[in-house]
Structure 1
């Protein structure tokens, strides 16, 4: 152990002294110091190692009144007169609690200073932005953050206003259309839009985040919802799309794949909400829609193209007849092939028999003996039976039974025509047994315009010669089928909404009325008929009929009756430019009479003004009324009599006034 040198008297170079500023002051040191400085004389190094206890320097404890010392000033550490234990001076050690306490005090002071600074910044920012739109607010791409409400409204008017009269684009998937904001009743509410942005937020975190982010505010607009719905309904056909299954079409003899297309249908109510919300924003408004799926796939269509369509038209098919062959050319094959979804994503092929037969039957005409049905015609004022003829023809169902397999084959592309005896479908014997020999009911009408006369004549041509067997029900619409331009019908006058109009096939109701009355007096059973809504003076009241078909030719209003006689019925027609007559021939079995009742419950017509520019024909109108008709039928063979009464209500036909023409352009 080293010696304790402090125990010796006198100065020694190895003596260690602790000097402070106060020490220097008392000794007259020439170098005053501003901070605590320790001057230590190093004891001579002892060869032997020292223990930790012998090297510990004890630091004097902090005075109890340390907190009263002013910060920022240099203070002298008081002289400690402790008994040394190995160094000339020993500083007492600090405990962990004391060090932690001093750290907390310093951290608290720093935190308090920071909070104070942030509070000053927050208060300053709040005061600076008071009364303005919150920072980072964007409306339809226009930044109005930090502006006063009036200035923000002006900014929106200047930036968005000029484009609000432009058409609004609506987009649904790959389709788009535009609507006019004025026509849809759309207009912007600038003040409400600025108000929607809100006031300055008090949350400090929100205010800090607004320095780095933006907040989109939806423009506030007003519109007549009903008017907007009408505008959307007008453009809906351009946005909706019907689903289209994939198929194969042909360009001549070249097969082309047609990919499937899903359908889409917009939701008008949701679309209205979207337009009201986003119409003022830049870019198109996306309209919500419902997708309508299809069952075919692109791969399924391609498979049908490779495996069926392309091989089918690669080369012709030979149809072997008796003594002569026919050729089904690739173009004819293409015309006869049909494709439809198979329910598994692909296409199922089939052959349209009439198309295929039509391509080859004329080539085999010399090998075919056509049959002929019996006919009943009126010659010399009485029915005559023209006999039937049996024929020899080709059973095309059997002949083309394996055609689809042949079309897939690369070689041996031929089929055998199967010939067979073909008896008449309506034989001479059957015609004779019908007992058609005299007129059993007839009726005539007249007074139609030339265009209506064309349609009446065309219907009469189609109906003339029709035969109804006992117990069968006959339909006018069913017999003629569609009555359009393609069938030889023209536009003519009709009654629509109580006033004259025009439509293809107009005037046929006159033929229907004539036919109905002929069947009425022949004693046929009425299955279906409907009177006109308005009374037409050239027809018997309560005993007339109208007919109507949809644009596709489907029957809507028809004339149907059942043959309840023991004989067959033959219908013949006689047309002149001013009249039409319908006769029913058979064996007379019924005696029929009609009685029309008084007109009751009269109703005066109301007046109606047709707007200028619309088609108009002035009319004096006719009153409405109710009438009954009673038919009495007596069976000549049994003597039994029965009566049938029907009641008909006619609406008053309005008095039509045509509005004045529009003024000429200025």
Structure 2
């Protein structure tokens, strides 16, 4: 049976629904309204407070602003500036640390021309922010605005150049050495660094007065090209095999020499593979063959015998021959070769020493045929003072009887040795800087000149001689020699096949030197004219300074040509020497 719906029942139902909906809507309005009113109240109150805050902070530094850690928020500009001067004034004179990478240095603000522009610093803090959120946050947060610097350009730029240098480092390559006991030692590489000078310039200006008193910049790392790994590889490939066991060399008479690890430190070293540091990419071993030879030679010295030339001894006024002796010496090229070949040979560590005969250059037979009957060269000089005569006679006594064997060089300093009071020499006149003075051994230069001329006319080879700076009239111009112990020597070489014997003697007036032997040549001296004259200068010397007056003498240039001929007159050689004499000054004593 179907349900019947009448108009009355429908209207009643509708009325019931409307009543329920209206009640629900009223309930909803009662739940939301308090929150809305609360929000409106808060917004209204915030607006009032915002307005009050704006009004009260007008013309003041924004809240929360700091400079160098000093809070100046809420102050007037004049108050802020005064506060900064009081709190930061002393700090502006204290050193600042400047860092970049792993390097640091110091900066002294006054010396660097750095000051603070207090007024501009306060002004840069800006105007009061209008953003309410920013204003609310300022109650809880601070904002560092830094400083505005006043800079003296010249000292500041100079300081920045220094900072750039001190914060820049060239990369250092790894190094490998051997210690005195032969152990490898590695110095690791050190990375270099570079900086951007312009960036550092700005960083310093903006941050030199910050709270940490430290300015930190950036640095670009420059890697070294030669690393510890490369050094370690050389230790494995070169050092360890070289020092693993000693290298032995077996010589005569069961004498053995050895190169051990400690010795290897004198032989083996390492250097970059390029002389230009920027081009070096690796280390390379350097083997010192001379050092290896010296080490072995010291240990094998007893196995060598030096050849001895024949010589002579005077007995009862006659010369007797001292026989020559042959010897033997090590053949180093064959024995040593390249030391690295033996050092890196891990299979063979024992080696043989090879010898060769060492022949005497002047034999007993040659000495027996020698004679000293001919005057091959002779010269005499005179005109010396009594004190100089003492020294000349002593030096002549020392070289008298000296033999100069074929191929040997005679040295006057080497033969006489020290010429002091202990050797019988006295103080006598010398010439220093163009004027007279005194020294022990003075006057021996006269013997040197006499000996030089005797060797000159004997045809000896001039190895070393030094003319006087000023011409001395008792000597032949362009053919004389001075001498000074330890500095200036007279040396000549006997280039003939027969020896010569020096005969030297002197009295109170003159000194004579003769070279006795076998005459094979005649010598002629051709002296040129005096040219290019130079005038002396005048010098005034204090009488207390051992002054000796002098009228001076002009300087000049002169040549001397030595012509050597054999006994038949055939010219063998011709040699010209030029001597330039300085003018001897005019000395006035006051």
TM-score (norm 2): 0.48
- In proportion to residue count, which structure has more helix? 2
The structure with the larger Rg is 1
Higher RCO, 1 or 2 (CA under 8 Å, sep at least 6)?
2
TM-score (norm 1): 0.44
